[in-house]
Structure formats: C-alpha cells, structure tokens
C-alpha cells in the first residue's frame, strides 16, 4: 500500500466488487478496451480473485485507487507482470489504469501512474516499464506522456492497432 497527495493505492478486496462493477459495466470505460463491458457481477468477482492471485504469484498486480478526502474507490492502477509474449516481449512489467467515468479529468490517472512508476523503480528495482494503449485512446496516451513514457511503435494486437510505450529508470 502507498499513497500520494490525494490518493491511496491498496490491494483490491472482494468488498470492492460493487464499485468495480460500476467501473467495468460502463461501455464508455470499455470504448478502447475491446468494447465488451462486464454484464454480471460474478465476472467482477472472478476478476478480483484473479488479480489477488497475481499478488501471491507475482508479488505485484493492479491496485484499488481510493480518493482520500472521501474514502471512495475511484478505479484501479498498477503494474502487472506479463509472462506471455506480446509485441515480441515477455516477462515484462506493464502499467495500467482505469477509472470510473465521473472521476475522469481531475488528474487522478496521472497522479496514480506516477506513484506506480516510482514504486516499480524504487521498490521493485525495475529497469524498465512498458505500457500499451489503443492507438485512438488519446487520453491514455496523454497520461503516458505526462508521466514520462516514450512512444516506441504501433503494433497489431489481435486486430487492434496498439501503441507501445516504454520508460527507463533514470540512473
Ligand atoms: C484514461 C483514463 C484512465 C484517464 O484518466 P484521468 O484521470 O481522466 O486522466 P488525467 O486527468 O490524469 O489526464 C488526462 C489528460 O488527457 C487529456 N485529454 C483528455 N481527453 C483528451 C483527448 N481527447 N485528446 C487529448 N488529450 C485528452 C486531459 O486534458 C489530461 O491532460 P492535461 O492534464 O494535460 O489537461 C480514463 O479516461 C479512463 O479510465 N478511461 C477508460 C479506461 C482506459 O481507457 N484506460 C486506459 C487503457 S490503456
């Protein structure tokens, strides 16, 4: 668990299921995520279980983001270990984030992303962190640029034109 000026990042809990459902059942949230929002709360339970298993197996995984002033779950952010090959890379750490729509546009993704990068470089001692986003997801690309990522290339991810970003730890 770690915190920023406005946010707490902590492990995802089974009790986050309702807020997670609000997040992942929203078609707008899923616009650049394959356009298949979650329809059943049971699917959310599986996702939370899956992420909690990653904490155990990999020592890292997406984290719940809580807004401190209201103690409210607003979304998730964090690093994920990708073991399988994607864009000719495997066993790499990727930064991701996703927020409930009513919390967009307040700098929360950028604030959470910076804290996750700091955690990855300082605590996990990573040398590089990657990120991917739909080529048309301009907001996400802006967040990546604001947090110091560099665009590397565009690749085909199962038919989706996807932008690949990288950030290297400063010496
Ligand atoms: C992407 C997402 C996490 C961004 O969250 P957020 O908290 O609104 O992001 P921030 O406020 O930190 O930063 C957004 C930036 O994008 C800019 N932006 C917003 N819409 C934009 C657009 N259409 N084109 C260019 N920039 C845009 C904002 O102005 C802001 O930059 P600024 O601070 O310089 O003004 C949020 O929109 C989301 O959850 N989307 C759905 C899930 C998703 O796409 N996740 C990412 C998958 S890779």
Q: Where do the H-state alpha helices sit in the chain?
A: 17-24, 41-58, 108-118, 138-146
Entry pTM: 0.97
pLDDT at 170: 87
- Every domain of the chain and the residues it spans: 2-168
pLDDT at 165: 98
Atom of ligand 1 nearest to the CA of 29: 41
Superfamily (CATH H level) for 2-168: Gcn5-related N-acetyltransferase (GNAT) (3.40.630.30)
pLDDT at 171: 74
Question: Under a CB-based contact definition with an 8 Å cutoff, are residues 65 and 74 in contact?
Answer: yes
pLDDT < 50: residue spans in the chain: none
Within 6 A (CB) of ligand 1 lie 29, 32-33, 97-99, 104-110, 133, 137-140, 142-143
């Amino acid at each position: 668990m770690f915190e920023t000026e406005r946010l707490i990042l902590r492990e995802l809990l089974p009790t986050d299921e309702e807020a997670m459902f609000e997040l992942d059942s929203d078609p707008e949230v899923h616009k650049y995520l394959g356009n298949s929002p979650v329809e059943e709360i049971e699917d959310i339970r599986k996702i939370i279980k899956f992420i909690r298993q990653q904490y155990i197996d990999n020592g890292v995984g997406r984290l719940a983001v809580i807004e401190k002033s209201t103690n409210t779950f607003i979304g998730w952010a964090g690093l994920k270990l990708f073991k399988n090959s994607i864009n000719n890379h495997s066993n790499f750490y990727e930064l991701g984030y996703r927020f409930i729509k009513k919390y967009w546009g307040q700098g929360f993704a950028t604030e959470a992303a910076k804290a996750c990068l700091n955690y990855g470089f300082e605590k996990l001692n990573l040398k590089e962190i990657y990120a991917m986003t739909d080529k048309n997801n301009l907001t996400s690309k802006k967040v990546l640029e604001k947090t110091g990522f560099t665009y590397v290339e565009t690749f085909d991810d199962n038919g989706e034109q996807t932008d690949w970003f990288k950030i290297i730890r400063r010496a």
